[in-house]
């Protein structure tokens, strides 16, 4: 890894190319977030069982991301570079999984393919986060993460709308036949698999990487053994920078909220607005299409907000912007509990989109400035622990809470998630930004922060 303090300033199109892969990655995540509960419910899963099936994603991330981060830190190929081999491998495997998932006819098969898909997406995604720290000087890192957020938003808008596009514009059947997945969902996943592969391979073949200052020394010092990797990964939990520890608490409450939203919005809207809990009914499947539209709204808002938030951050601070955005998102998520009109469903998604833009930008921008350059991939992988641990906790507990405390009302679980996001926002004000960032702030703001 290059160790010089100043890296070449990249042009707009160089930033575009290095971030474009996230457009495809988000096809995978958006199709998963929008349709997983729908798929599992159609195949026979009960409302209280859904969080357990969703555990595939966080458990996979917990294992895969830090390992991939460590391995990519210790990889160098004269043609493929450090991160791009992982982009390529993950893209191919994720595309295959996206083609397979909607063709599953049994819960166990869908769960297994979902696990494969999550592992593959993680192989691609984690090195993308480290890619920004590798290639960009600190002055461009917030912009780099904002560009990623822009593509995440754009990809999610299209992917979330695909089932509705197939049903409303192309006349494809949206009704499950004999318990199988509707054609609208199947075709959406086929498009997603192709988009994932094309976008990630675009970044792979249009970007270059900065080589280590001394390649031979790098090769001599690197250690890729599994035992050494595991020791480093779990040992790293006790050597985290202070900023990373503080952000961990923010992430914990934030991702409890997001997990609740992804799991239970379909059930909440189907019950509150469409008046059904029967996953085999046409009304439930129509609710599923509306979830795609709702998630497209929050993703579209996040794509626009991604370039506005850094402006506010320059005049205040990243942590202040993050706090405001999370509070807005939390209040918006809680409001879904009180909505019974189809047209009003889009309003809270605006607030959720503002929060989502900040979630994908500010914590990583704060963190990248606090990490040693040669351990960027490793620590970005460890940081993922504080995304997946709250998801695992949610997967184990939300089903029980929904069934026994909220009498099966998914909307109440969404409100609980909104409260959790607000707590995360308030905790963000306890995060101390790195000295280099603070030095670039006006003196009055430094004192205030």
**Alpha carbon distances (Å) from 428 to 245, 247, 321, 380, 449:** 11, 7, 9, 18, 12
Q: Is residue 2 part of a domain?
A: no
Q: Is the CB of residue 28 less than 8 Å from the CB of residue 117?
A: yes
State whether 179 and 107 are in the same domain: yes
State whether 274 and 388 are in the same domain: yes
| pLDDT at site 269 | 92
| pLDDT at site 6 | 66
| pLDDT at site 434 | 66
State whether 306 and 428 are in the same domain: yes
Q: Which residues contact 280 (CB under 8 A, 6 or more apart)?
A: 42, 176, 179
Q: What is the pLDDT of residues 354-363, one digit of tens each?
A: 999 999 889 8
State whether 168 and 243 are in the same domain: no
State whether 267 and 401 are in the same domain: yes
Closest CA relative to residue 151, chosen from 325, 292, 17: 17
State whether 274 and 202 are in the same domain: no
Residue 148: pLDDT band by 50, 70, 90 thresholds?
confident
The pLDDT of 250-263, averaged and rounded, is 92
| Tokens encoding 140 | 């461009």
Q: For residue 196, how many C-alpha atoms fall within 13 Å in the half-sphere facing its CB?
A: 35
Q: Is residue 223 part of a domain?
A: no
Q: Identify the domain containing residue 322 by its residue range.
A: 230-434
Closest CA relative to residue 402, chosen from 2, 33, 50: 50
Q: Is residue 449 part of a domain?
A: no
Q: Is residue 422 part of a domain?
A: yes
Q: Is the CB of residue 395 less than 8 Å from the CB of residue 256?
A: no
For residue 188, give the CATH number of its domain.
Answer: 1.20.1250.20
Q: Is residue 24 part of a domain?
A: yes
State whether 187 and 142 are in the same domain: yes
Task: Please say which residue of 185, 212, 239 terminates a domain.
Answer: 212
State whether 161 and 264 are in the same domain: no
Task: Please say which residue of 149, 182, 212 terminates a domain.
Answer: 212
Q: Is residue 5 part of a domain?
A: no
Provide the whole-model pTM: 0.70
407: left (phi over 0), alpha (psi -120 to 50) or beta: left
State whether 250 and 303 are in the same domain: yes
Exposure string (b/e) for 237-248, b if CB count within 10 Å is 16 or more? eeebeebbebbb
Residue 255: pLDDT band by 50, 70, 90 thresholds?
very high
Return phi, psi of residue 6, to 5°.
Answer: -115, 125
Total domains in the chain come to 2
- Of the candidate ranges 35-49, 98-112, 313-327, the one whose mean pLDDT is the lowest: 35-49
State whether 91 and 188 are in the same domain: yes
Q: Is the CB of residue 189 less than 8 Å from the CB of residue 320?
A: no
Q: How distant is the alpha carbon of residue 115 from its chain centre?
A: 16
Task: Please say which residue of 144, 177, 212 terminates a domain.
Answer: 212
pLDDT > 90: what percent of the chain? 28
Q: Is the CB of residue 349 less than 8 Å from the CB of residue 327?
A: no
| pLDDT at site 435 | 58
| pLDDT at site 445 | 29
Residue 378: pLDDT band by 50, 70, 90 thresholds?
low
Q: Is residue 340 part of a domain?
A: yes
State whether 292 and 336 are in the same domain: yes
Q: Is residue 222 part of a domain?
A: no
State whether 359 and 424 are in the same domain: yes
pLDDT > 70: what percent of the chain? 88
Whole-angstrom Cα Rg for the chain: 21
């Amino acid at each position: 890894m290059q160790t010089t303090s100043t890296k070449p300033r990249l042009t707009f199109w160089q930033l575009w190319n290095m971030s474009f892969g996230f457009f495809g990655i988000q096809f995978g995540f958006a199709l998963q977030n929008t349709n997983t509960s729908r798929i599992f419910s159609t195949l026979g899963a009960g409302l209280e069982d859904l969080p357990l099936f969703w555990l595939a994603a966080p458990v996979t991330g917990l294992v895969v991301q830090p390992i991939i981060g460590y391995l990519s830190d210790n990889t160098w190929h004269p043609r493929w570079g450090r991160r791009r081999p992982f982009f390529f491998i993950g893209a191919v495997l994720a595309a295959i999984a996206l083609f397979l998932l909607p063709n599953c006819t049994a819960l166990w098969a869908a769960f297994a393919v979902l696990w494969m898909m999550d592992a593959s997406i993680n192989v691609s995604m984690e090195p993308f986060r480290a890619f920004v720290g590798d290639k960009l000087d600190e002055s461009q890192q917030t912009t780099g993460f904002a560009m990623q957020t822009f593509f995440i938003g754009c990809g999610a808008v299209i992917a979330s709308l695909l089932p509705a596009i197939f049903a409303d514009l192309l006349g494809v059947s949206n009704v499950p036949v004999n318990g199988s997945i509707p054609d609208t969902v199947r075709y959406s996943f086929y498009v997603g698999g192709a988009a994932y592969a094309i976008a990630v391979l675009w970044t792979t073949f249009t970007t270059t990487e900065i080589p280590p200052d001394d390649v031979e020394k790098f090769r001599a010092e690197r250690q890729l053994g599994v035992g050494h990797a595991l020791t480093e990964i779990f040992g790293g939990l006790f050597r985290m920078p202070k900023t990373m520890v503080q952000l961990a608490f923010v992430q914990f409450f934030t991702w409890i909220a997001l997990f609740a939203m992804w799991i239970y919005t379909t059930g909440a809207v189907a019950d509150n607005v469409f008046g059904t809990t029967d996953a085999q009914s046409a009304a439930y499947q129509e609710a599923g299409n509306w979830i795609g539209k709702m998630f497209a709204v929050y993703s579209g808002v996040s794509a626009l907000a991604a370039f506005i938030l850094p402006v506010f951050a320059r005049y205040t601070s990243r942590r202040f912007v993050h706090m405001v955005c999370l509070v807005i998102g939390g209040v918006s998520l809680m409001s879904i509990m009180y909505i019974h009109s189809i047209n009003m469903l889009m309003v809270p998604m605006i607030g959720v989109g503002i929060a989502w833009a900040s979630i994908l930008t500010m914590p990583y921008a704060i963190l990248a400035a606090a990490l040693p350059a040669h351990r960027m991939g490793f620590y970005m992988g460890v940081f993922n622990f504080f995304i997946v641990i709250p998801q695992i906790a949610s997967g184990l507990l939300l089903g029980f809470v929904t069934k026994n405390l909220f009498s099966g009302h998914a909307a109440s679980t969404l409100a609980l998630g909104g409260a959790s996001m607000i707590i995360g926002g308030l905790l963000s004000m306890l995060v101390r930004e790195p000295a280099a960032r603070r030095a670039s702030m006006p003196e009055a703001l430094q004192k205030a922060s």
